[in-house]
């Protein structure tokens, strides 16, 4: 059994070997990369990404990245392609083929078939002098000196290089398309990431109660309001104007100082100039304000600065934003 120091040393060597391989990719970029990006950008079809073995696994991730950044893509396994799935490739589609050696039997069968259909091929290969490299319209070089595997056999550095090259294509296309955070949110509506991009404060407050008391309200009324509305806070109004805030912490601090509360009113213990946020602000902005001010609730106002509700830290936790 390896000692801890030996395990950590192997891990560090693996990471460093792969980082060197990735850094080297920058020097391998040439006009083929730029031409490939422009061809995809101006294409009326989709991007079909294919490979076999570990390259196929990387291909599925590249497809996911393309789709989430505005470039329609589908995965096609190279072995399945030559047994019927080649029908996925339509007239205007661009095919990206991943292969470290560029000489696997499936690739040698697949490439001529794609070319016969008239589709352009982008190769992501560690050997641009291979069958794939020579027959691709846009060969992209992902050569690595050494796999991180101690036997220099298991695809490690080479598959990481393929993945990074795919990311580079996707990011370039994203920038050229002017793909914004709003566009990104359209493709990620269900997760916390998407919610950070589209969820607004009004979405959080619509189901919350709206605790409020008047300046002259008694402490008993304030306590009941905070307890019933279950948000740990109440706004203080002068008629309809927002003038203050009382938290459950304010109540506790008052009770620690005096037991004579009969004549105390809301205006006696309220905090003035309460922190507020617009109902149209993004939910992530509410979180940022809560964190920066070290508070757990913030009052919500409309465009006329009229009080309309409360956002609690728990609302943000419930939505997975915090």
Domain ranges of the chain: 4-179, 198-318
Q: What is the pLDDT of residues 93-130, one digit of tens each?
A: 999 999 999 999 999 999 999 999 999 999 999 999 99
Q: Give the lowest-confidence range in 3-17, 86-100, 223-237, 268-282.
A: 3-17
Amino acid 2: pLDDT? 56
- For residues 21, 22, 24, 28, the Cα torsion angle rounded to the nearest 10 degrees is 120
Amino acid 94: pLDDT? 97
pLDDT band at residue 186, thresholds of 50, 70 and 90? Answer: low
pLDDT band at residue 76, thresholds of 50, 70 and 90? Answer: very high
Residue located via tokens 């996707």? 170
Q: Which CATH superfamily is domain 4-179 in?
A: Glucose-6-phosphate isomerase like protein; domain 1 (3.40.50.10490)
Query: What is the overall mean pLDDT for the chain?
Result: 91
Percentage above 90 pLDDT, the chain: 76
* 131 compared with 190, residue with greater pLDDT: 131
**Mean pLDDT computed over 275-281:** 94
| Helix, strand, coil in percent for the chain, rounding step 5 | 50, 20, 30
d(Cα 209, Cα 134) in Å, to the nearest integer?
67
Return the structure tokens found at 246: 């009382």
Residue 77 assigned as binding residue: yes
8 A C-beta contact, residue 277 and residue 286: yes
- Residue 236: pLDDT over 90: yes
**CATH match of 198-318 with 3.40.190.10:** no
**Mean pLDDT computed over 309-315:** 92
């Amino acid at each position: 059994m390896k000692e801890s120091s030996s395990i950590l040393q192997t891990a560090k060597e693996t990471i460093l070997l792969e980082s060197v391989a990735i850094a080297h990719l920058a020097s391998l970029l040439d006009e083929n990369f730029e031409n490939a990006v422009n061809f995809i950008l101006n294409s009326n079809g989709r991007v079909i990404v294919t490979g076999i073995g570990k390259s196929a696994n990387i291909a599925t991730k590249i497809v996911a990245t393309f789709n989430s950044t505005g470039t329609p893509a589908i995965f096609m396994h190279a072995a399945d392609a030559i047994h019927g799935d080649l029908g996925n490739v339509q007239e205007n589609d661009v095919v990206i083929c991943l292969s470290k050696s560029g000489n696997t039997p499936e690739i040698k069968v697949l490439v001529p078939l794609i070319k016969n259909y008239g589709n352009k091929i982008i190769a992501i290969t560690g050997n641009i002098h291979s069958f794939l490299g020579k027959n691709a319209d846009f060969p992209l070089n992902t050569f690595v000196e050494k796999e991180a595997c101690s036997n220099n056999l298991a695809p490690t550095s080479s598959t990481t290089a393929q993945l990074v090259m795919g990311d580079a294509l996707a990011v370039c296309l994203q920038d050229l398309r002017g793909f914004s955070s709003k566009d990104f949110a359209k493709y990620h509506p269900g997760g916390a990431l998407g919610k950070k991009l589209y969820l607004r404060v009004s979405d959080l407050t619509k189901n919350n109660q709206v605790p409020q008391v008047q300046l002259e309200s008694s402490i008993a009324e304030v306590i009941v309001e905070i307890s019933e509305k279950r948000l740990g806070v109440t706004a203080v109004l002068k008629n309809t104007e927002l003038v203050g805030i009382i938290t459950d912490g304010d109540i506790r601090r008052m009770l620690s100082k005096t037991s004579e509360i009969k004549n105390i009113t809301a205006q006696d213990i309220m905090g003035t100039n309460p922190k507020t946020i617009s109902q149209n602000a993004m939910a992530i902005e509410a979180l940022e304000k809560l964190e920066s001010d070290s508070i757990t609730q913030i009052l919500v106002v409309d465009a006329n600065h009229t009080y309309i509700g409360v956002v609690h830290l728990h609302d943000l936790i419930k939505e997975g934003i915090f």
